[in-house]
Amino acid sequence: MWCHKLLNELDTKRPMPVDMQEEIRNHIFDECKLHNTSPEDILEFYASFRWRLEATPQIAKYDMPETDKDVEDANNFVEQELNKLLAHNLKSYLENKSSFHKKLADKQALLESVKEKLTIYTDALVPNQKELDRLYHYKTTLERQQSAKLSRLIQLEEFKLRKNSMKAINK
């Protein structure tokens, strides 16, 4: 990620190079356009995400500009606000954005781990096809045996009833 690269290149003993500041401002400008918000809201979002333990914060969004003049005014406003940002604001933005991406990567890894475990548990709960076929075969065999035994029991009951009725007639 570009913010990790810039953080690694940043020398804390020297002032932040102007070209690095410009690159960071360009990224913030792009995010402002993407989310239709101000640089302050972008910086606040990443700072609040880094330091808050509650649910993920949302980026404040403004109404979409309707005319070219509105777009130009919004871009000018963003440019003015970006020029007000000092090197320490930009560094803080880099650190917070880097932390944001690290947390996202951690969450993604956790999600992948859960998906993997879910697959393992699902496979453990459901027998493989060969085992299922064997169980269905046993089930079918047992049902046929039960049906045959029940038919035989009914025949014997009928035979017993006929025998008893014959004895009653003969007496």
Q: Are 36 and 30 spatial neighbours (Cβ–Cβ below 8 Å)? A: no
Instruction: Outline where 15-86 has alpha helix (H).
Output: 18-35, 39-51, 68-84
pLDDT for the residue 70? 87
Q: How far is CA 43 from each of CA 33, 56, 94, 151, rounded to the nearest angstrom?
A: 14, 15, 9, 81
- The CA–CA distances, whole Å, from 111 to 54, 59, 90, 114 equal 19, 24, 31, 5
Domains of the chain, by residue range, sit at: 2-124, 128-170
Contacts of residue 124, Cβ cutoff 8 Å, sequence gap at least 6: none
Which residue in 51, 28, 54 sits closest to 41, CA to CA? 28
Q: Determine contact, residues 82/41, Cβ cutoff 8 Å.
A: no
So what's the pLDDT on residue 66? Answer: 83
pTM: 0.63
b/e burial code for range 92-121 (CB count within 10 A of at least 16 → b): bbbbbbbbbeeeeeeeeeeeeeeeeeeeee
Q: Give the per-residue pLDDT at 57.
A: 64
Provide the pLDDT for residue 53.
56
Residue 91 and residue 11 in contact, taking contact as beta carbons nearer than 8 Å? no
Residues of the chain with pLDDT under 50: none
H or E segment to which residue 146 belongs: helix 129-170
At 148, phi and psi to the nearest 5? -65, -45
- Read off the DSSP letter of residue 98: H
pLDDT digits 0-9 by tens, 60-94: 777 777 888 988 988 899 999 999 999 999 999 99
Instruction: Identify the CA nearest to 45 among candidates 7, 99, 1.
Output: 99
